[in-house]
Amino acid sequence: MLEFDCAVKRFDSLTALDRCTFAAQPGRLTGFLGPNGAGKTTAMRAVFGLLRLDAGEVRWRGSPVIGAERVRFGYMPEERGLYPRMRVREQLVYLGELCGRTSLEAGRVTDRWLERLGVAGRATARVDELSHGNQQRVQLVAALVNEPDLLVLDEPFAGLDPIAMAAMADLLEELARTGVTVLFSSHQLDLVEDLCEDVVIIDQGRVVLAGDLQDLRAATPQRVVDIRYRGPAPEWSDLPQVEVLVSTNGSTRLKVPRDTEIPALLAQLTGHREVTSFSYQPPTLSDLFTAAVGR
């Protein structure tokens, strides 16, 4: 388990991390969300000792992270980077060796991932000869070549086409199933909602929401009701605490309290209307995010 405990990082007048506290569990995907400049990259760099915290600590399996443990971590920085003129396989094996693997082990893992990601054919090419997409794949292998227990990815989905995105999502799920702790940042909330068991939302260096995504959604006092129907628009005013979010001809989205009685709601729709679809759900991650960040 990776834990941030009251981590504080100040840059001169700006506080990038402000008593930042959260955890990422093994075997689960944790989405790390927040607007630009919220402190996501700073927090990730702190895991790898790329900057020193002013207060608080980052713990791995219960004890503060020390240098030697980081060879069991995998990291894909936001600024992708590899030696442009080094050959793909040699470079990956080198990065594996830096993590204490023998060249044989590192080579085996490298080959497996290159094969899996469909770039095995370019193993002897120089990195700068690869297409952008293939460079991204190689960059991912660079984070995986030491078979990490903790994987930290800064915007892994940025710049990927839909097919590559789906492949990346599959891969992260697969890694989590094998017990790896996966923490990644993203701005694609729909994707995170589909993929992640846990989310951490951070704003101005402070954690504003963190935990199991389904629990967080269930714990909100509101529910969202989506209704499609044929016929005249119904009147919602006689139900207490109903807020109309969107209302177009034939489709309505309502925000209602969690304890609203659904039959009463449905009763409003009877009459000269035919209900074609009805859903009653907790708010989406996007709703949670907007509410938590408060903008």
Partner 1 sequence: MTALNQGWLVARREMRERARSRSFRVSTLLMLIVVVAAVVLPGLLDDGNTTRHVGVSGTTAPAFEQVLSGQTSDDTTIHLHTYDELAAGEEALRDERIDLLVVDGRLLEWRGRPDAELQALVTGALQVATVQQRAAASGLDPDTVARLLSPVRVESLQIGSMPGRSADDDSVAFVMSVVLLTAILIYGNLVLTGVVEEKSSRVVEVLLARVPAKALLGGKVVGIGLLGLGQLAVTALAALIASAAVDSVDLPAVTGSVLAWVLVWFVLGYALYAMVYGALGSLATRTEDAQAVAGPVGYVLIAGYWAAFMAIGEDPEGMWARVLSLFPATAPLAMPGRIALQATDWWEAPLAVLLTLAALAGLVAFAGRVYGNAVLRTGATLRLRDAWHSRQNEPREARTSLAQTMTSSFASPQATVIGTAALAAAGIVAAAVVFALTGDVIWSAVPALLAVAAVRRVRQHR
In 3D space, the residue among 272, 177, 278 whose CA is nearest the CA of residue 228 turns out to be: 278
Q: Say how far apart CA 109 and CA 140 lie, in whole Å.
A: 13
Q: Which stretch binds partner 1 (CB under 8 A): 35-43, 114-122, 167-175, 216-224?
A: 35-43
Q: Is 4 in the site for partner 1 (CB under 8 A)?
A: no
Q: Which stretch binds partner 1 (CB under 8 A): 91-99, 111-119, 173-181, 286-294?
A: 91-99
Query: Which uninterrupted H or E stretch holds 216?
Result: helix 213-219
Q: In the complex, what is the shortest distance from the CB of residue 39 to partner 1, in angstroms, rounded to a whole number?
A: 7
First to last CA, the chain: 31
Q: Is 173 in the site for partner 1 (CB under 8 A)?
A: no
Residue ranges in 14-33 that form contacts with partner 1 under rule CB under 8 A: 14, 16
Q: In the complex, what is the shortest distance from the CB of residue 79 to partner 1, in angstroms, rounded to a whole number?
A: 4
Q: In the complex, what is the shortest distance from the CB of residue 94 to partner 1, in angstroms, rounded to a whole number?
A: 6
Task: Compute CA distances 180 → 19, 62, 74, whole Å.
Answer: 26, 16, 10
**70 vs 223, beta carbon nearer partner 1:** 70
What is the biggest distance separating any 2 CA atoms in the chain, rounded to whole angstroms?
74
Q: Which of 62, 66, 68, 294 binds partner 1 (CB under 8 A)?
A: 68
Which residue bears the tokens 């009763």? 267
Q: Is 45 in the site for partner 1 (CB under 8 A)?
A: yes
**29 vs 38, beta carbon nearer partner 1:** 38
Give me the sheet containing 2-11, strands edge to edge.
14-24, 2-11, 55-60, 63-64
For the stretch 266-279, what's the b/e string if a residue is b when 16 or more beta carbons lie within 10 angstroms of its beta carbon?
A: eebbeeebeeeeee
Question: Which positions lie near partner 1, rule CB under 8 A?
Answer: 10-14, 16, 36-37, 39, 41-42, 45, 48-52, 54, 67-68, 70-71, 73, 75, 77, 79-86, 94-95, 97-100, 142, 146
